[in-house]
Amino acid sequence: MANLTITVDDETLKKARMRALEEDTSVNAVLRDYLEEYAGRRRERREAGRRLLELAEDSGMSSEGKGLPGREDLYDRKIARG
């Protein structure tokens, strides 16, 4: 991971640190998140997630609202019994 040095006036940094403290984060984390968003990384992740959901919907596979099988159901299958 690369390091980045920026120049900002003291009062702005002080206010940013106070706000970050209120939000239980750090100025570094805020700037990192902003730069990731600015660079499009989050957009790429959202797009990948959207494509994954589309693939899942197009797969034809469905639990038909029943949810995932439980452990007992899985081990009761013929394939698990040998």
Per residue in 16-58, pLDDT tens?
999 999 999 999 999 999 998 888 877 888 889 899 988 888 8
Task: State pLDDT tens for residues 8-24.
Answer: 999 999 999 999 999 99
Q: What is the average per-residue pLDDT within 63-80?
A: 73
User: Which sequence spans correspond to the domains of the chain?
Assistant: 10-81
- The answer to pTM > 0.85 is no
Q: Using CA atoms, how far apart are residues 73 and 75, in angstroms rounded to an integer?
A: 6
Closest C-alpha among 29, 35, 17 to residue 9 = 17
Closest of 6, 3, 26 to residue 16, by C-alpha: 26
- Phi-psi category of 65—alpha, beta or left, where left has phi over 0 and alpha has psi -120 to 50? left
